[in-house]
Every structure is written in C-alpha cells, then in structure tokens.
Amino acid sequence: MSARTRALLGLTLTLLVCALLYWPAMHGPFLFDDFPNLAALDSIEHPSSWRDLGVYLSQPRNFPGRPLAMLSFLLQKASWPDHPFPFRLINLGIHLFNGILVFALVERVSRRWLSGPSTPDSLNARAWLVAWLTAAAWLLNPIQLSGVLLVVQRMTLLMAMFMLLGLLAYVQGLLATERPTWRRGTLMALGLGVCMGLAFLSKENGILLPIYALALDATLLRSDVQRLPPALAWVRRLLIWPVTLFVAAYLIWTLPAEWGHASTRDFTVGQRLLTEPRILFDYLGKIFLPRFGLYGLYHDGYIVSRNLLSPWTTLPALLVLIGALAAALAWLRRWPLFALAVLWYLGGQLIESSTVMLELYFEHRNYMPLIGPLMALALFVVRQPGGQQRRLLYLGTGLWLLACCITTALSARVYASEDRLALVWANTQPDSVRAQTYLTDRLYKHGQPATALQVLEKVAQGHRNDISLAIDRILLKCVQNDLVQADIERLNSLLRTASFRQAQLENLETLRTIGAQGTCPVLTSDAWLGIADALLSNPEYRNNGMAAGFIHYQKHYWAVSQGNLGMAIHELDLTYQNDPDANVPRLQAKYLVSAHLYDRAIGVLRGTDYTRLPLLRRLLVDDRAINEAEILEIEKMRKNGRNASEKAG
C-alpha cells in the first residue's frame, strides 16, 4: 500500500470517527447566540422575493452583515425554530470538509518544506503523514465543539472554509514554478483577493487571511517567496501588505479612544489587553491537555485583569507572550516551526483577542488559529530521526489523539441534552452568572422553582449588583407567590445604578407580560412601569441606543395595554430615535389607522428620516417604496370608511 493510499485511508477513517463522535449532539438544542442571530428567519416569508431577501439580510446592524452565512441558514428555514438537527448537520458537514482542506494545505506546504536529500517516496510518505496528523488533531480536538455545535458559529466555519481555499490557491500560485507567471498571479489573487472577500462576507475575521499567508511566507515558504519573479513579488506585496497594515492601523487606532472607557462591558480596552494573554494560555491548556468538563459556552465568570498584578498571573502571562512573539520574530530562520506556531496563532487572534471590545472568552476563536501550531508540531514529530525518540513521540501523539477523542465524545453527549448542559456548565463554571441562570431556567421548567431560587440566591452572594440575577429572583418569587413590595423597591434601587449588561434586558419583557396578566399580585402593570423607568434613569442604559430603544419599545406595549395611544406613539418615537428600525413608523401608522387618524398615519410614513437606518438596511431595502404601498392601502381604507359613512347617513 502506497503512502498516499495509507494517508487517504487514514483521513477517511478520521472523518468517520469525527462524525461518530459528534453524532450524539446532532439532536441537541439551539443555544445561547443561536436565538437572537437566527430570529431573522422569522422575517422572511418568500426567499425568492428580492424584497424579503433584503429585509432578511439587513437584520444584522453592522456592515456588511455576514450575508453568506445568513444565506446559508435559509436552507434550513423550514426547521426553525423547532428542529436544530438540519442546522447542526450542515455545520458538521462543513467542519469535515474543512478537515479535508486542512489536510490538503498542510500536505502541500509540508512537501515543499521537507524537500531535501531524501527519496521521492520518503518525501511523499512524510508529507502525507504530517498532513494526516495535523488534520486529525484539528478535527478531533474538543475545543472545536462550540464552533461546530453552536449553530450560529456556521459563520466561523464558512469563514474558515474560504480562508483554507484561499490559502490553497495562494500556495499553489506561489509554489507552481512550472506554470506561466500570469497563471500563478491569478491563483494568488483568487486566493488572497476573492477568497478573502468571501471569508469576510461570512465573518469579519476573514480579513486576516493575508496574515495567515504572511506567517507561512515568513517561515516555511521563505525561500520560495525570495525566488519569486519581480512581477509576482509585487503581486504578492499588494495582496498581503495593504490588508495587514490596515488591520494593524485599525487596532492601534482604537487604543487611544477606548483605552480607559468601559463602553458596554465591565472592562476597558486596557484591561482587555491585560486579560487576553491569560485567556490565550487557558485556550492552549484546553487544546493540549484535554479534560472533560472544561469546554462550553459560558465563560463570563472569567476574572478580568484590572492591573499587572491583579490577578498575579497577569504579568507572567503577558511577559511569556511578549517573549514568545519576540523570539519568533528574531529567530524566523533558526526556529521556523516555533515561529510558525506563534505567528499563526497570535495572528489569528488579532481581532477577537485584542482591542476590539468583544466578550473576553469564546473557545470557537481557536478554530482557524489552531491549525498553525498543530502543523508545526506534526512537522517536528515527523522530522525527528528514526529510533526510540521518534517511536516515543509517535506513541505520545497517539495517546494524545485518543484523549482528544474520549473528551470530545463525552462532551458531545452532554451537548445532546439541555439538562445535562445546565448541570455540567453550572458545576464547572460556578462563577458564571450565565451558567447558573441557565440551570435555574431548566429547574424552573421542570417545576422546581424552590430549588431554582436556592441556586440563584447562592450565586447572587458573589454578584449582588447583577441585574439579571435580581430580575430572575423576582420571577421565581412571583411563581412561588411570596414576592413582597420590598423586593420591587430593592430591584428598582439596583436598576438605577447597575453597570450595563446587554443580557440583563432579556427578562424585562417577561416581567411586563406577568404584570399585564395579573398573575403576581405585587408585580402589577404599574409596578412594571416603575421598573422600566428606573432602568431608564440609569445613564448607562439611557445613553445606550439599543438598550434605551428596547426599553421604550416595551413601554409602548404597556401604553397599548392601557389604551393610551398618545403615549404609545411617543414611546415609539423614542424607540426610533434611540435605535432606528424601519418597522417602527409602520407600527405607529397601524395604531393611528386603528384610531381612524389616517392623515397622521400617512404623515408618519412619509416623514420618517430613513437616513438614520443602518447602512446595510438602506443598501438592501427600499423602505420608502414599502411605505408608499402602505399609504395606498391607508388611502383605500379611508375612502371605504367615507363611503360607509355616506351610506349610513
């Protein structure tokens, strides 16, 4: 059996094992960010309609809105929101295909770097082995679980797919010296131009594709870059350096403006930069020391580094990171494998683990960055001279892969059940408010509100100023019918001063519904209005557009329930002012028409300032045309109403 056949057979078996390991989780639930990001599927009734498609694709607020990933979710629209299986199945399929791409890329790069005084058969065998080891380690590593099983992370999977295709095309153009210059340049442009664009339209991290190429060029492919013809050398520079410098400039530009400003987080940019080195080493620990119970979605309890010595691990982590980067840059030629591992991994973390004010910790951020270190390690193992040392390395690698498989299998089984997830994550993340509230939600749904309240009270001891815990406590006490007025007053006092958390708004609507239904004697409709006003009196919520818009939108529902048309229209005005949404003026017009105020309704539709809508919405949807169609319907209704009045008279 040839080396190629053995490698392809090994890859096939690896793909099969990966699919079997993940299979128990395929019927698991939608989780976490799935709901807010996939809710846009409710907005599209006819996918073949350009208008409906534009409305759907414009749901994300930021440009360009990840349209390729959003379009991919349309394939499973019929299964939303009740059947996660088709969504997860496609995610798994993309993950397996990406594994094949990793294999192909590593094989091509390894064949070039390993070339030297060896026979073609020996070179082929070693290149295939490196490719298989890298692909197997990447596919089976348990840190990949959240990237595959969190449905919305298809954005990451698709981005990685286009990045890998782009790197394959680029490397082919770089190394195919037998081809004409124009064809090599075309391949490089397709890889770092077209594929980068497709990756970026899947997720913004796609812009890092030239940085991955630069990591390869500076280490394993250094001599090939130096031998490029002048024309191709310029093509390469134009494809890599403008984007790389743009990313660096953007990240540096955010530092002065945001360094000491917490924005919508409970940490500043400076504190984020101090914390991320610790998180990166935590990621690496999970990657190379797989242990059941470490992997999940909720890491909001991670301790923020407030200064270099708080916690004490901040300074050592930062120094080791800076030292590793300096060593990688200083000894690119002497230690190319070490340099590749460091530059690839840190380059892949540039956006999500640096100055951009995202959440601190998500495991799926390692999806692409993991490839470089694994490729470097596989090359190190295979390059070792024959003998006992190599056999020991192969044995250690095999045992590590087995540990990865066992950990992935156990963790995937947990993902199959919300109850298992809640228990495991609550036990392994005791400081995570999200993990604990997820457990309380499961307990409540299983008819155990008293136990849920006990869990909540316990975690609240360490998070006394957390609004989400305080609101959950109100809900649970309502269910048990032991809510007192002092609880409402204590909540209102907290709401006026608490730090901003986006997640803390989620239960405001639930409180309003309970107040309107009258099922909780103390939480009346008027009491809910006091809660909403207390939150709006908090500058961190009042001055946050999306938060203030959401609260005013909830207040408009309160006004509608009270039959107060004037207040409903006013609250919708404030909603649009804080968080412009094209549907708000139409909702105002609907209310005005129901009161036979046709002229006012038409005035609202014609007078709306649509320049305040997000750029993506203005590019994809002609809201004025939609409004004109609404106005025609209102005119018909007014005419019919007049005719009916004349006949009655």
Q: How many CB atoms lie within 10 A of CB 376?
A: 23
- State residue 81's pLDDT score: 87
- State residue 572's pLDDT score: 95
Distances (CA, A) of 432 to 402, 421, 475, 491: 30, 14, 20, 21
Distances (CA, A) of 495 to 475, 503, 532, 538, 558: 16, 14, 9, 7, 19
Alpha-carbon span 219 to 217, nearest angstrom: 6
Parts of the chain with a pLDDT under 70: 1, 48, 116-119, 121, 257-264, 502-504, 641-649
Q: Which of 83, 77, 89, 66 is nearest to 30 (CA)?
A: 83
Amino acid residing at 315: L
Q: How many CB atoms lie within 10 A of CB 463?
A: 15
Q: CA 441 from chain center: how many Å?
A: 23
Alpha-carbon span 296 to 284, nearest angstrom: 15
Alpha-carbon span 55 to 38, nearest angstrom: 13
Is 153 in a helix, a strand, or coil? helix
Backbone phi, then psi, for 252, in 5-degree steps? -70, -35
- 239 with 214: CB under 8 angstroms? no
The tokens for 425 are 């994550």
The tokens for 192 are 């770092």
- State residue 264's pLDDT score: 62
Is 310 in a helix, a strand, or coil? strand
- 214 with 184: CB under 8 angstroms? no
- State residue 262's pLDDT score: 52
- State residue 131's pLDDT score: 96
Alpha-carbon span 491 to 86, nearest angstrom: 42
Alpha-carbon span 375 to 342, nearest angstrom: 12
Task: Name beta bridge partners: 307.
Answer: 310
- State residue 312's pLDDT score: 95
- 110 with 359: CB under 8 angstroms? no
* DSSP E strand boundaries for 287-353: none
Alpha-carbon span 582 to 623, nearest angstrom: 7
Alpha-carbon span 39 to 17, nearest angstrom: 33
- State residue 258's pLDDT score: 63
- State residue 540's pLDDT score: 84
DSSP, res 339:
H
Instruction: Please state whether the predicted TM-score (pTM) of the whole model is above 0.75.
Output: yes
pLDDT tens-digit series, residues 203-243 = 999 999 999 999 999 999 999 999 999 999 999 999 999 99
